[in-house]
Amino acid sequence: NAGVTQTPKFQVLKTGQSMTLQCAQDMNHNSMYWYRQDPGMGLRLIYYSASEGTTDKGEVPNGYNVSRLNKREFSLRLESAAPSQTSVYFCASTSPGPKSVYGYTFGSGTRLTVV
Give the binding site for another protein (CB under 8 A). Answer: 4, 31, 33, 35, 40-45, 48, 50-51, 56, 58-59, 90, 92, 94, 96, 99-109
CB of 15 to another protein, least distance (A): 26
User: Which positions ≥6 away from 24 have C-beta within 8 Å?
Assistant: 4, 5, 72, 73, 74
For another protein, the closer of residues 13 and 34 by Cβ is: 34
Question: Of 42 and 62, which has the nearer Cβ to another protein?
Answer: 42
Nearer to another protein, 14 or 99 (CB): 99
Closest CB 64 distance from another protein, rounded Å: 16
